[in-house]
Amino acid sequence: MESTPTLGCRPANLAVSALSASRALYSRVDSFQSPPTSVRELLQELRALMDALGGLSDTIGAVTDVDLPTLESTLSRCGVACEKFKEEIGKHLPYPDDGSVSPRYWARLRYMGGNIVNFRLLLSGYRSAFEATLVSTHLRHQSFVAPEILEHHKNLIKVAGSDIEVFLECLDDEIGPKIDLDTSEFQQLKEQRLGMDNCLEICTRFFDSIGLIEVKQEENDQASESYDPTAYPGECGKGSFSTFNNYSTGDAVIFTVSTDKRTIHGSNKALGWRSRFLVGHCNDKSLQQVSKDFAFTNTGHLEQKESSTGSNTSRTADNQNSCQPEFLQRYGRGFVVSK
């Protein structure tokens, strides 16, 4: 029982720490004047990473169904990468008074055996994993997601997963017998490789979760289209939700109501201009009262017609005599239909 708060607190703190490290790196890189294209692309990636980390920090504190253990190592390695790259800039990049640096100095900058482009791809992998976590958490809390939105996220995550796989191949090439790194740097490179493995795992799980959402929504749509309340009158209340599809060509009075807070899903259609619908959730007492009101609304025009022909009194008496007290209390007086 005591481990849950600790588990939730650590990733939240790691998200804040990684966000702080990425901001510090962005400020340092942005302080140089007239940077080359590779540096401008790095700044753009850092802005996107900061947005993802900011949203992730807020999400971890607001929900309880985020995959916290997987995020811990990923957040930690992201923060370390930003801090180490900032240190490399301070060690190897001159900083003249006007803030301008020759492009060749940027080209010589190295981190874990790779150049500035490799570092940007590393950050891109972390960002993709964080964005996948955010979107996945959001989709899980939606009752319905439009198919085009699901397809959009599937395409994005496929591209991100492909980029991460390519970067992993680059890291595998760097982790070899000829790499010029000391023991500490080599260990950090292996940890960054594990970090990218985690990012790919998060993206793969997110892609699979979208497929599950699509299947579930398709099953719900099929159930809604195939359900016939007249053919299967006893099936409506057997699940965690009730599905209906009502259609009437006359002046229908249709009640689609849950008095026990059961979820209801479906549609009502009627062609009659005096059709009345009640759809949603209410208690039994309210349902009885609305039933009486609907009965009065739909039979009032008949009473007016009968009054003009002088048969209203006898028809009303027949109604009252033929209705049981329980029926009168729940549904109103009713009326006798013509043969």
pLDDT tens-place string over residues 33-83: 888 999 999 999 999 999 999 998 888 766 655 666 678 889 999 999 999
Q: Evaluate if residue 1 carries a pLDDT over 90.
A: no
In which element (H, E) is residue 264 found? strand 263-270
Q: Which residue has the higher pLDDT, 241 or 276?
A: 276
Q: Report the range of poorest mean pLDDT among 3-7, 81-85, 182-186, 270-274.
A: 3-7
pLDDT at position 130 is 94
Q: Evaluate if residue 152 carries a pLDDT over 90.
A: yes
**Residue pLDDT, tens place only, 210-229:** 999 999 888 887 776 555 55
The pLDDT confidence band at residue 8, using thresholds 50, 70 and 90, is: very low
pLDDT at position 86 is 95
Nearest to 163 by CA among 202, 212, 128: 128
Highest mean pLDDT among 2-6, 8-12, 132-136, 232-236: 132-136
The percent of residues above 70 in pLDDT, for the chain, comes to: 66
- Cβ atoms of 241 and 263 closer than 8 Å: yes
- Indicate the pairing of strand 241-248 with strand 276-281: unpaired
Q: Which residue has the higher pLDDT, 301 or 93?
A: 93
Nearest to 121 by CA among 68, 174, 72: 174
pLDDT at position 247 is 54
Please give the Cα distance from 110 to 122 (Å, whole number). Answer: 13
φ/ψ region of 101 (left if φ > 0, alpha if ψ in -120 to 50, else beta) reads beta
> Whole-prediction pTM value?
0.63
pLDDT at position 232 is 45
Kindly state the average pLDDT of the residues 194-198: 91
Q: Where are the domains of the chain?
A: 3-224, 231-282, 295-339
Kindly state the average pLDDT of the residues 254-265: 72
- Cβ atoms of 221 and 243 closer than 8 Å: no
Kindly state the average pLDDT of the residues 187-197: 86
